Chains A and B, each alone.
Chain A
Amino acid sequence: MNREKVVFSFFMILALTLNYGFYTGEVDNPSHHNVYELFAVVVVNMIATVLKFGDRSQMGAMLLATSLVALVQLFSASLIWAYVVSIQGNPMTPETMSTIVSLSGGAMIANVISVILLIIETSMMRH
């Protein structure tokens, strides 16, 4: 058992599940999307990215790339949220909410790819 891989898998899958949790629900309904969940996705995804720092294998580099993509998407979603609510001081509108949710949907695809890569790596280790 490789502890490094287990820890990484834990954070990667947690990022995906949290991401899914934030993403589900009506796309433009603010009450279906929890800000704490978005915060958790960002934090867990950051940890998962940092865990792949300095990995010189091809698979490690791929995983770093996909989690960086997810991070870019999630950061843009959070920035939009902060811009509309905290900087402009407006209440959350359905349009803004749908933008944020669709960005997090993109991040989810990146996270799904990460998990698929993880599964491929694990199954290759079996052989």
Chain B
Amino acid sequence: MSLVTSLIMRQMRAPFIILILGYSISVLGMVLTPGVDDQGNVWHMSFFDAIYFVSFTATTIGFGEIPYALTNAQRTWALITIYLTVVAWFYSLGKIISLVQDPTFREALKKNHYQRQLERIPESFILICGFGETGHALAKALTERNIHTAVIESNSRLIETLPLEDFPLVIPGITGDARDPEQLILAGLQDRKCAAVIAVTASDEANLKIAVTSKLLHPEICVVCRSEIEEYESNMISFGTDFVVNPFDTFANIFAMAMHSPSLHLLYDWLTGVPNTDLSNPVYIKEGHWIICGYGRFGEGLYKQLLKTNIQVTIIDPSEEKREAFLNHPENKNNDFIIGTGFDAHTLTVAGVTRAVGLVSGTDNDSNNLSIIMTAREINPELFIIARHNKKSNEKLFEATHANIIMQPSEIIARKIRTLLVSPLMIAFLNKARNQDPTWANITISRIMGALGDSVPSIWTLHVNEKDARALCSVLRLGRVIRVGNLLQDAHQREQQVKAIPLMLKRNQKLLLMPTDDIAIKSGDQLLFCGTPSAHRSMKWCLNDLHRLNYIMTFEDTPDAYIWRKLHQYLKRNERRNRPRQKRHIMK
């Protein structure tokens, strides 16, 4: 018996006993009290009559005095019955209502509901700690890729809105402080279906605590942490946190990629984006004079990337200390540091906004950022603008500024973590792609565009093993040769190709970019594909269904059921028998 049911039952004991006593006393009294029938004889109600009478009286339905009109003695007892049973009902109903409203009961009910939802998840799930902007974006992205998630969040309001939102999968949510190990366990940390824990609360300290707890209590699972402060980051890595994601570093890296090779950046954007959204356009970052407003973690990260390309930069920040530290550093000698906020025209003009090509509005205050963008645009409408967007609620405002790049920390983290969890090979692919020359990225982009059209492709990894590709493995064991090109044949029409492109082949720790169609597949290979969802389905079907695979390899659609199989064999035999005869005929 679950805790909730036993709690209800225990609380219901008193009301039930009161009801039983009230009813039985009333019934007994009705039976014992003498009445008179229609002929004037003394008559007693049977138990059946009495139970009927008391039942409609107690529920205030009141059918009247049946079967015969009551005597005064019976009416007296009926009065007692009315007050006894109606009061018993009031008491019981009051008790039930107060039980339903009881906070402990409601909490128990919610926990029960959460646990049942977790049990209903068929495969594995990912536990997200913190359902702020990042957690929300992540939950959306993961469920869109058919990955189950569960959420623990200390703000009960955010959990209550969960069922109202339109996620593709049901996301179980529980209110609780994820820093408390008990609550994490309750949220499903030690569940064998729990595949990963993502700590994306607003505080680095809480994320650290969650990471430690998860690694200690369930060492096999993957732990991903958000961190914005370097000390915490190194601390998290020290005890084996699998991935630590820093939004500012991540963005600085993406920015460097965009600066170095716009086509590579575009490839990154496409392959890590949300499937079925429109493909983005390339971003060309101009070289020339740049202004960075706000020299915090974000501004500094971008500055370091700009420094590598010898672009001249002017920094605007109100902090004197930062200016001292900046100017004392020898590598900054070519660049300027102006004390100010950046949202007034004077400071911007001094910083050279009229001749600048780019501006970064990177303070941690959205109103300031917006104001900087508006002022700068007024002076120099040609500026390339990178805006830091802190609060989700200001999304519409930032969209209205038409900034060239909008950096939203929660989006950046969600995208990075999603890529880490959904397709770990993708990270390896992108790292390897970074070392290729720009023309390689251009060719890849045009291949993807040509084959898949203009929406963001799905990404999937094919593991050549018993679990993911049963039929393929059994065919490989027989010694048949299957090439990459065979995988791309349509399950319905062998001559046609599905809309998918193999991006990378991983074999024995070796990575091969863009494998060609003639490479033979070996057991244990891992292949990274991008393509349409229907191509993914077709491929999955072929690789797990022997008949489909056979069809692809041989043109033959062999039947599955016993009778059809026998018939098929019979027809084939006949065909073979007929063939030599014809030959003989020709010879004559």
A residues sitting closer than 8 Å to B (CB atoms) are 35-36, 39, 43, 46-47, 50-51, 53-56, 61, 78, 81-82, 85-87
The A/B interface has a contact count, at CB < 8 Å, of 53
B48: contacting residue among A47, A53, A61, A85, CB under 8 A? A85
Among A35, A50, A86, the residue within 8 A (CB) of B17 is A50
Q: In the complex, what distance in Å separates the CA atom of A113 from the CA atom of B464?
A: 61
Q: Which residue of A lies closest to B15 (CB)?
A: A50
> Is B91 at the interface (CB under 8 A from chain A)?
no
Q: Contacts A39-B47, A82-B47, A86-B48 given: A61-B13 contact, CB under 8 Å?
A: no
Q: Which of A36, A39, A53 has the most CB of B within 10 A?
A: A53
CA distance A39 to B16 in the complex (A): 17
Closest 10 CB pairs of A and B: A54-B10, A54-B9, A86-B48, A53-B9, A43-B24, A50-B16, A54-B6, A82-B48, A56-B6, A46-B20
Q: How far is the CA of A42 from the CA of B426 in the complex (A)?
A: 71
Within 8 A of A (CB), among B28-51: 28, 31, 46-49
Question: How many chain B residues have a CB neighbour from A under 8 Å?
Answer: 22
Chain A residue numbers with a CB within 8 Å of B302 are none
Can you identify 23 A-B contacts, CB atoms within 8 angstroms?
A: A39-B24, A39-B28, A39-B31, A39-B47, A43-B24, A46-B20, A47-B17, A47-B20, A47-B21, A50-B17, A50-B20, A51-B13, A51-B17, A53-B10, A54-B5, A54-B10, A54-B12, A54-B13, A55-B10, A56-B1, A61-B1, A78-B47, A86-B47
Q: Closest approach, in angstroms, between the C-beta of A55 and any C-beta of chain B?
A: 8
Determine the residue in chain B with the shortest Cβ distance to A39. B47
Q: Does B27 contact A (CB under 8 A)?
A: yes
- Chain A residues, Cβ within 8 Å of B6: 54-56
CA distance A36 to B28 in the complex (A): 8
| Chain B residues positioned under 8 Å from A86 (CB to CB) | 46-49
A54 in contact with B46 (CB, 8 Å): no
Determine if B345 is an interface residue (Cβ-Cβ < 8 Å).
Answer: no
> Bound complex: CA of A47 vs CA of B13, how far in Å?
9
The CA of A36 and the CA of B29, in the complex, are separated in Å by 11
Q: Check B13–A53 contact: CB distance below 8 A.
A: yes
B462 smallest CB distance to A (angstroms): 49
In the complex, what distance in Å separates the CA atom of A68 from the CA atom of B565? 57
Whether B24 contacts A53 by the Cβ 8 Å rule is no
Residues of A within 8 A of B374 (CB): none
Q: How far is the CB of B49 from chain A (nearest CB, A)?
A: 7
Interface residues of B (CB under 8 A from A): 1, 5-13, 16-17, 20-21, 24, 27-28, 31, 46-49
Question: By DSSP majority rule, is chain A's interface helix, strand, loop, or mixed?
Answer: helix
Residue among B16, B20, B31, B49 making CB contact with A53, cutoff 8 Å: B16
Q: Which residues of chain B come closer than 8 Å to A35, judged between CB atoms?
A: 47
Chain A residues lying within 8 Å of B12, measured Cβ to Cβ, are 50, 53-54
Known: A46-B20, A47-B20, A61-B1. A54 touches B27 (CB 8 A): no
Q: A39–B9 Cα gap in the complex (Å)?
A: 25
Known: A35-B47, A39-B27. A54 touches B8 (CB 8 A): yes
Partner of B11, one of A43, A46, A47, A54: A54
Q: How far is the CA of A47 from the CA of B48 in the complex (A)?
A: 20
Residues of B close to A50: CB separation below 8 A = 12-13, 16-17, 20
- Residues in A with CB closer than 8 Å to B28 are 36, 39
Q: Which residue of A lies closest to B16 (CB)?
A: A50
Question: What chain A residues lie within 8 Å of B9 (beta carbons)?
Answer: 53-54
CB distance from B266 to the nearest CB of A (A): 61
With A36-B28, A85-B48, A86-B49 known, 20 other A-B pairs at CB within 8 A are A35-B47, A39-B27, A39-B31, A39-B47, A47-B20, A50-B13, A51-B13, A51-B17, A53-B10, A54-B1, A54-B5, A54-B8, A54-B11, A54-B13, A55-B6, A56-B1, A81-B47, A82-B47, A86-B46, A86-B48
Docked complex Cα distance between A39 and B24 (Å): 8
Tell me the complex Cα distance, A46–B19, Å.
11
Tell me the bound Cα distance from A105 to B13 in angstroms.
Answer: 27
State A56–B49 Cα separation when bound (angstroms). Answer: 38
Given the complex of chains A and B, what is the CA–CA distance between A78 and B48 in angstroms?
9
The answer for the CA separation of A82 and B47 in the assembled complex, in Å, is 8
Q: Which residue of B lies closest to A61 (CB)?
A: B1
Q: How far is the CB of A63 from chain B (nearest CB, A)?
A: 14
